[in-house]
Every structure is written in structure tokens, then in C-alpha cells.
Amino acid sequence: MIIENVEIYFAKLVKPNNRFNKENPTWEIQIRTAEKKQADEWKASGLTVKPVIPDDGAPFFRVNLKKKSIGKDGPATPVRVVDGKLNDINPDTIGNGSVGNIRVFQYNYTNNGVAGTASVLMAIQLTKYVVYTPPVRDDEFEETSTERVMQETQTNDEDF
């Protein structure tokens, strides 16, 4: 399933998030829309939609999408991120407010007699790419020269 024209926030796609599961961290994003009609379409497709009313700013709807880093057959393939021409993009550079299309894999499950639909984040196609550049830290190293010295081989006969 392709979910089109969504705002993307909090992309954790390089280093999986282990906050909720230390043994099987997840790649994840949050998708948002301000349109109730789009949120209703997401809900009808089996996504868990939550309304958000922030202290400042306009209300919106959100869905958190994840992919486990370890599948039943071993390590999983990371979430692929591409631009409109299908060129790969560094997932670590997706800034909040980027817009794109999201590919999810869905399957039905039953847990303790309760049926549901699971959605797995598979790929992202950015149509508006807000580039995230980490802020410069004020305690960063500056470029400098490095002196390289080869250590002499020591023998066990020497006193220390």
C-alpha cells in the first residue's frame, strides 16, 4: 500500500530506536496531516490514527510507522529512502516537515482473540525534501595537524 502526500516527522532510519525494545530496535517515522478526510482514509486502511491538539499551532492527525530491525529470518533490510527520480537519499538527512509517499506492507493478525491489521514501514519517496543538518556544537574539535610517530619495539629484557 502507498500512502501519498504525507508530512514526515521524527525519522529514525539509520540507527534503529531501541527505546521500547532493546532486543529488536525499530526504524520509525511519524506521518502527519491536517486534513480530516486524509486521516479518515488512513483509518479506513487499518492505520492507527491519533488526533493531536498542540499547545501552540494547528491541530493535526498522526500515525507512527515502524519496521523491526530483526525479522524472523535474521537482520531486516533498512527502510529505503528515495527522491522523486528514485535516487537514494541519506535517511539521516530527512528533516521534520518533509513531504512524501510512504510504502507500507500490511497483514492481518489475531492476538488473544482480537483481530487487527499490522502496518510495516518499507520505503519513503520524498517529494519535498527538507534537509536536516545537525546543529554545530560549541564543543566540537577544530581541524588541526597530527604528528605521527612510530613506536619502537620493546623487548622483555628491559627494566621498566
Q: Which residue has the cell 526504524?
A: 27
pLDDT tens digits, one per residue of 123-136: 999 999 999 987 77
d(CA 68, CA 22): 11
What's domain 2-128's superfamily in CATH? Nucleic acid-binding proteins (2.40.50.140)
Domain spans, the chain: 2-128
pLDDT tens digits, one per residue of 19-74: 888 889 999 999 999 999 999 999 999 999 999 999 998 999 999 999 999 988 89
